[in-house]
Amino acid sequence: MTPGTECPSLPRLAFEWPTGADFSDVLTREWLVSNGRGGYAAGTVARCNTRRYHGLFIPGLEKRGRTVMLARLGEQAMVEGRKYRLDAEERADGTQVSEGATLLRGFHLDGLVPHWIYQVGEARFQRKLALVHGENTLVVVWEHLSGPEVTLRLRPFPALRMHDDKLHHTLLEPVVHLRGSRVELQATDGAPPMRMRIYSPCPAPFVSMGETSAPQFFRVEKARGYDYVETLSSPGYFECTLRPGEHLAMGVTTEAWTVLERDPVETLALEYERERRLLVRVPEEARSGVPARLVLAADQFIIDPMRPADDAWARAVGQDARSVIAGYHWFTDWGRDTMISLEGLTLCTGRPRTAAAILRTFQHYVRDGLLPNLFPEGGNEGLYHTADATLWFFHAVDRYLEHTKDYELLRDFYPTMASIIEHHQKGTRHNIRVDPADGLLSQGQEGYQLTWMDAKVDGWVVTPRRGKPVEINALWFNALRLMVEWSERLGKDPRPYAGAAEKAYASFNRRFWNAAEACLLDVVDGEDGKDDPAVRPNQVFAISLKYPVLRRDKWEPVLEKVRKELLTPVGLRSLAPAHTDYKPKYDGDLRARDAAYHQGTVWGWLIGHYVDATMKVNSDKAAARALLKGLEEHLDHAGLGQISEVFDATEPYRPRGCIAQAWSVAEALRVFLKTGVH
């Protein structure tokens, strides 16, 4: 921390229940902890797993991806001869084990660290946990606060499966190695061992007394149409008695045993210090309140991608490899999401070096003029089925330059950006090419979903949008104008880009204006040569980008149409309600959800560009700020301190999809700061 800099306090998100929590309430509130390597820990405040993705230790493992190593921890407290169950579960036979909720007196996030406060008889204690940043290590600490002594019995239930794999229906039997208060569990499929140890004021050897769980019921998985019952076995337990002022801790790692020699209380203190340093970097107005909470939320998406090929080239150029997890729990790093999120996640949070590292990481993967759409779980090679991620790359580089004035990076990137333009003009994969007749960018290949409206299930591309989509051409024009600007700065000839931009501009305004609806068509030259007049939010980008492609006299009617038909308190609908394909709710099995994904479902990230567009017409910050109220209130629900991926299109706008989405957080933070929120 810079000498003389005042140390900011960490934002707190707190819930108190003087007589115990309501199980149904705390079962729907989820917490998330991440480690900067793609790994995470996650669960419900109730301590009851409702998803296959819930677990205390889910590290990202090289060549494998994220793996549920420790699915849950059975916790029992004994006070004055009485036993209390602290964790919770729902069983396949319908039984709810929820005593722990009645004992819960408080839950809060201090920064990103979750705390549970329990009243067990006359004893009161707290439990907190953290992952070591940059390392696959978990620490959980229990601290006795007051009252009689408490004996805690801790029973680990390993899963040792990929986080999105099918659930265990037959018992997993890892090899167990015991070393006093240490235990090592080795799966039989070549995964690294999971190592655990206890830190305690009294001897706490591991007791080898196995136990099989009742079949666990994961309600969210059932609602989403997946398998939803899992049976796990525990090889034994740790037990220790605590008096007031004492603490017990557990360390879990896939690293060497030596990492568990650290003091776990100090490890927690270092995590608090790391988070305070994140707040020191940001502008004064982002160090408290909602912006501070979003600054910390943003940190959970920035990762070292853990790809050996990345490490090799990064070392060669003296650069860190960095990327962005698009969403928790199941997304990996996606090109489109990363480029849209870059400004909010890194530049608005005072992390320009990280921004440059992310840009250089993706520059390294440009192929045939395209940025990767995504990297598969545990994979090293990107998939390139996207028409817009590459164009968002231009936007992200521009935002980086605007914040940093790092024109050395521009010199390095210019040949790459010029090559991208050339590939698009000549034609590249998936029929992504400029139509020489009008200078507009066309795309589309049977069986592929190439725009951000990319739902596909069982070979069905829900919104193919083949042809010339409105936002693709808004982004194309923006990229051409940026090339003019960058060429002039570097002493290059801007005329080829200026000519292409002029042609695209004239064609766009002639082809996309829908006079009958006083807004923009969503796609021109689409299926069978037809235009698509669906009212969608994609038209906002024709105004919001740095170089708007839409003529100024059309801005107000477009924004009025979007306001009337698409705007909600938590973002923009993906389709107007009057359309025959409109779906008001995003729920059910995969096919039902994908059918609604871009057919009405609200996307929080779109509020950022809607605010940008409206502020070009009306600079009233108070009015723009009011558009963010719903997302601010949402921070107390679903993924606590985070912003969900999507929402239902009608009241009460129930959060859906991922509980934490990078571009939702990034765009909310960016426009919170832009509108002067304190």
DSSP 342-382: HIIIIITTT-HHHHHHHHHHHHHT-BTTB--SB--TT-SS-
pLDDT (0 to 100) of residue 6: 66
d(CA 261, CA 391): 48
What is the pTM for the complete model shown?
Answer: 0.96
Residues 6+ apart with CB under 8 A from 596: 583, 585, 586, 587
Question: With pLDDT > 70 as the criterion, what percentage of the chain qualifies?
Answer: 99
Residue ranges of the chain with per-residue pLDDT less than 50: 1-4, 677-678
Report pLDDT digits (tens) over 432-473.
999 999 999 999 999 998 999 988 888 888 999 999 999 999
**335 SS3 class:** helix
- The HSE-up count of residue 102 (CA atoms within 13 Å, CB side) is 7
Report pLDDT digits (tens) over 607-660.
999 999 999 999 999 999 999 999 999 999 999 999 999 999 999 999 999 999
Tell me the residue length of the chain: 678
Q: Are 32 and 639 in contact (CB under 8 A)?
A: yes
Q: Exposed e or buried b for every residue in 168-207, given b needs 16+ CB within 10 A?
A: beeebebeeeeeebbbbbbbeeebbbbbbbbbbeeebbbe
Report pLDDT digits (tens) over 163-190.
999 998 777 778 899 887 899 998 867 7
The burial class, CB within 10 Å (0-12 / 13-18 / 19+), for 24 is exposed
Instruction: Give the phi and the psi of residue 70 in degrees, each rounded to 5.
Output: -115, 105
Q: Token pair 């986080």 is at which residue?
A: 163
**Taking phi first (over 0 means left), then psi (-120 to 50 degrees means alpha), and beta for anything else, what does residue 65 get?**
left
**107 SS3 class:** strand
Bond into 372 cis (ω within 30)? no
What H or E segment, with its residue span, contains residue 206?
none
Amino acid occupying residue 184? E
What H or E segment, with its residue span, contains residue 279?
helix 264-280
Instruction: Report angle CA 422, 428, 429 to the nearest 5 degrees.
Output: 155
Report pLDDT digits (tens) over 547-594.
999 999 999 999 999 999 999 999 999 999 999 999 999 999 999 999
d(CA 562, CA 543): 12
Pairing of strands 89-90, 513-514: unpaired
Q: Return the closest-CA partner of residue 555 out of 507, 617, 615, 512.
A: 617
